[in-house]
Amino acid sequence: MNPQDLLQLFDDRALAAVAPLLALAIGIIVLLLSGVIRAFESLRAPIVVATLAFTGWLVASNFATVPGSVIDGTYIADRASSAWGLLFVVATLLAWLFSHRYYAESERPFQVEHDVLMLTTPLGMMLMAGAANLIVFFIGLEVLSIPLYALASFRRSRARSVEAGLKYFLLGAFAAAFFLYGSSLIYAATGSLQLAEIKAIGLHGPLALGGVALVMASLFFKISVFPFHLWVPDVYQGSPTPVTALMATGTKAAAFAFLINTMFMLPKSAALAVAVVALVTMALGNLGALAQTDVKRMLAYSGIAHAGTVLLVVAGTLAGDPESSGALHAALFYMGAYVFTAAGAFGLLALLERDGERFTTLEALKGLAQRRPFVAAALTIFMLSLGGMPLTGGFLGKWMVFSSLVRAGLIWPAVVGALLSVIAFGYYLRVVIALYMQPVSERDAALPSGQTSAGSAAPAAIAAAVCAVLVLVMGTLPGLFLDRLP
């Protein structure tokens, strides 16, 4: 390539494709500057919201116009990556809204840093989802991960939070090293880092397959699939709850987006192995959750189970699902429903969390329906959606995952998966029981109701309400979303 040709890489299509990324970058810089000047402190929230809204609009217009593959084929802005991008923006916005007034006074001085880091994560996620080149993906992964390491340990005065961050960091860096070594092996075998070229050349021989295994291992780590799921409970529980919401929804969705794009790397014969891994993940997640008394930790285990469920679509595709974009549709819809559901559930926990971890235990949720009926109702909706009840978004997600398996002829994994989700109801229902069917525990009865400070948490409350409504809309009028799948 000649220096003169460089400019040709940046045509209108390319600009349109990267416009959301640019918008985010500009927002980040403006936000940082606003942090420097005291007088602009009140602009912080408008900047964040405006940036995310503008980014969302740009992504949505990319969804309509489809710039396609740009910058020498390293980045793709098609309907799929734009749909994912929209999901990332929403996930970030929700997490940010839930972080409003979440932190203690002593943690406030770093609020600008917090918001900058949070605003950086969707940039990383979009790079991951749109990456058509392993380098671009890797940079995206790091742009996502490094802010998350810091965010996870953002409550520096709490040992749990810092430990969560460090644990996440060590394992995350370990996984990143796996990814790098794996892609170096793939590169050694094929001589290319472009996904399209790798696909064309094909992955044969132990060198390439070893590389694929390592890359997949690192992706499995990010989406918390067996045997790389062990970090999840500690990290989710220790992190500030809004950050947990972001990790559970955005990170996972981004990793799945890339996994769907790189499914072709896996040999067809791996279908059964992937199905087994997914089912084991579901089993471990569900059984682990069954034993928890802390709802936040329980949701962490449930997140593992959900990751296993989505992974089933990969097995379905490998086994020959006749619908070419079946896996993409299922993963998108499932994660879409999951974003609203899990973010809403974590958000409500964040809302309830005032005095330490008091409100994240099942014990503390007892009788909540009497004191805060709306919170209890919303939490019930989220629990039912996580379980996959009809009328909630979770059901159709589950439907699409299982239908991918059934179409591919993998009947028994579908049946086993269905039965495993019965176990899941064992613990989702425990939350509902605590909310509605058990009296307030005596320890909590004496404490004030907490309604007094609800006003200051209005953005978070509204966000949770919107999540609950959307979960129901996704369940009752799924056509609104299904018709727009890429």
Partner 1 sequence: MDQLTLITFLPLVGALLVLLTPASQEKALRAIALVTTLVVAVLGVQLYLAFDGSSAALQFLVDKAWFVLPGSAIPVRYKLGVDGLSILMVALTAVMMPTVILSTWGHVHKRVKEFMLWMLVMQTGMLGVFVAHDLVLFYFFWEVSLIPLYFIVGIWGGERRLYATIKFFLYTLAGSLVMLVAVIAIIYQFRTADIPTLCEQASSLALSKQVWLFAAFALAFSIKVPLLPFHTWLADAHTEAPTSGSVVLAGVLLKMGTYGLLRFGIDMFPGAALEHAPLFMALGAIGIVYGAFLAMAQTDVKRLIACSSVSHLGYVVLGMFALTYAGLSGSILQMVNHGISTGLLFLLIGMIYERRHTRALDQFGGIAATMPIFAFFLVFTVLSSAALPGLNGFVGEYLILLGAFQAKPLWAIIAVLGVIFGAVYLLMATRRVLFGPVTHEENKHLEDLNAREVVLMLPLVILAVWIGFQPKPFLDRTQGSLERLVQKIEVARGAQNASLEVPTTEESVR
Partner 2 sequence: MAEILFYVLSALALLTGFGVVLAKSPMMSILSLLGSFFCLAVIYLLAGFQFLAAAQILVYAGAILVLFLFVIMLLNLGDMGVVAERSNSFLDSTAARLGAALAVGLGVIGLVAASKAAFQPAQAEPGKALDGLEAIALQLFGRYSLAFEAASILLLATMVAVIALAKRQRKSGQNPTQNGGRA
Partner 3 sequence: MNVPSEHLLYLAAGLFAIGVLGFLIRRNVIVVLMCIELMLNAANLTFLAASRQHSTAQAANLDGPVFAIFVILVAACEAAVGLALIIALFRLKQSVEADSLSEMKG
Binding site for partner 2 (CB under 8 A): 1-3, 5-6, 9-10, 18, 21, 25, 28-29, 32, 71-72, 74-75, 101-102, 104-106, 108-110, 113-114, 116-117, 120, 123, 127, 133, 135-136, 139-140, 142-143, 146-147, 149-150, 153-158, 165, 185, 188-189, 205-207, 210, 230, 350, 353-357, 453, 456-457
Pick one of partner 1, partner 3, partner 2, none as the site partner of residue 88 (Cβ within 5 to 8 A by kind). Answer: none
Distance of CA 46 to the CA centre of its chain: 24
By CB under 8 A, residue 103 contacts partner 1? no
By CB under 8 A, residue 167 contacts partner 3? yes
The single-letter code of the amino acid at 208 is A
Contact 198, 188 (CB under 8 A): no
Pick one of partner 1, partner 3, partner 2, none as the site partner of residue 106 (Cβ within 5 to 8 A by kind). Answer: partner 2
Q: Which is nearer to partner 3, 223 or 232 (CB)?
A: 232
The single-letter code of the amino acid at 449 is S
* Residue 75: its H or E element: strand 75-77
- Terminal-to-terminal C-alpha distance of the chain: 34
| Helices and strands (H, E) in the chain, number of each type | 22, 2
In SS3 terms, 101-164 reads as CCCCHHHHHHHHHHHHHHHHHHHHHHHHHHECEHHHHHHHHHHHHHHHHHHHCCCCCCHHHHHH
Distance of CA 131 to the CA centre of its chain: 17
Contact 186, 208 (CB under 8 A): yes
Pick one of partner 3, partner 1, partner 2, none as the site partner of residue 21 (Cβ within 5 to 8 A by kind). Answer: partner 2
- Give the residue, chosen from 9, 170, 200, 482, that forms a contact with partner 3 under the rule CB under 8 A: 170
Binding mask 173-212 toward partner 3 (x if CB under 8 A, else -) reads xx-xxx-xx-xxx-xx--xxx-------------------
Binding mask 314-343 toward partner 1 (x if CB under 8 A, else -) reads ---------x-xx--x--------------
Say how far apart CA 339 and CA 352 lie, in whole Å: 20
* 3-class DSSP assignment, residue 68: strand
By CB under 8 A, residue 78 contacts partner 1? no
Q: 240: cis peptide before it, omega within 30°?
A: no
Applying CB under 8 A, which part among 150-158, 369-377, 400-408, 456-464 lies near partner 3? 150-158
* DSSP per-residue string spanning 226-269: TTS-TTHHHHHHHS-HHHHHHIIIIIHHHHHHHHHHTGGGS-GG
- Give the residue, chosen from 363, 436, 440, 466, that forms a contact with partner 1 under the rule CB under 8 A: 436
Q: How far is the CB of 275 from partner 2 (least distance, A)?
A: 23
Q: How many residues bind partner 3 (CB under 8 A)?
A: 40
Q: How far is the CB of 138 from partner 3 (least distance, A)?
A: 7
Q: How far is the CB of 32 from partner 3 (least distance, A)?
A: 17
- Give the residue, chosen from 426, 445, 447, 456, that forms a contact with partner 1 under the rule CB under 8 A: 426
Contact 316, 292 (CB under 8 A): no
Q: How far is the CB of 398 from partner 1 (least distance, A)?
A: 8
Pick one of partner 1, partner 2, partner 3, none as the site partner of residue 6 (Cβ within 5 to 8 A by kind). Answer: partner 2
Say how far apart CA 39 and CA 297 lie, in whole Å: 40
How deeply is 181 buried, as exposed, middle or buried, from its count of CB atoms within 10 A (0-12, 13-18, 19+)?
Answer: middle
Site for partner 1 in 405-424 (CB under 8 A): 406-407, 411, 414-415, 418-419, 421-422
Q: Is the four-CA dihedral 452, 456, 462, 463 of positive or negative sign?
A: negative
Contact partners, residue 233, CB within 8 Å, separation at least 6: 288, 297, 300, 301
How deeply is 252 buried, as exposed, middle or buried, from its count of CB atoms within 10 A (0-12, 13-18, 19+)?
Answer: buried
Binding site for partner 1 (CB under 8 A): 323, 325-326, 329, 384, 389-391, 395, 398-400, 402-403, 406-407, 411, 414-415, 418-419, 421-422, 425-426, 429, 432-433, 436-438, 477-479, 482-483, 485
Residues forming contacts to partner 3 in the complex (CB under 8 A) are: 134-135, 138-139, 142, 146, 149-150, 153, 156-157, 159-160, 162-163, 165-167, 169-170, 173-174, 176-178, 180-181, 183-185, 187-188, 191-193, 230, 233-234, 237-238
